[in-house]
Amino acid sequence: QVQVVESGGGLVQHGGSLTLSCVTSGFTLDDHTIGWFRQAPGKEREGVGCISSSDNRTNYVGSVRGRLTISRDNAKNTLYLQMNSLKPEDTAVYYCAATTVPYLVAVRAAASYGYWGQGTQVTVSS
């Protein structure tokens, strides 16, 4: 049974930091690109970044580049999203998801992701 479980969300002040975790099971993690997405109230879900399946290359969207870092530990079946210099506009539910699409295009290919977590809420106060 496939499971994708995010954790680590919470309330943080503007300019603060937070690290989200994503634990996976039921599929071969190192065969998959992993993406992080977010959805703010009243807005569509958007990709924020992804990490390649085998060599840990990353790709981020412009609005978060330099502030967010994705990493993975395949031995622990765990992914991480480190978020620094958080802004109120980063407030959203954050999701972890898995796809076999290459990382360079995966961040904008949400429909290709077959495995999704339930999300974790991140709230940034002003």
Residue 91 has pLDDT above 90, yes or no: yes
pLDDT of residue 71: 95
Residue 92 has pLDDT above 90, yes or no: yes
Q: Quick one: average pLDDT of 33-53?
A: 95
Cβ 38 vs Cβ 95: under 8 Å: yes
C-alpha angle with apex 21: 4 to 30, nearest 5 degrees? 60
Whether the per-residue pLDDT at 96 is higher than 90: the answer is yes
Instruction: Name the residue with higher pLDDT: 3 or 104.
Output: 3
Express each pLDDT in 26-39 by its tens digit.
999 989 999 999 99
Compute φ and ψ for 74, nearest 5 degrees: -65, -30
What pLDDT is stored for residue 93 in this prediction? 98
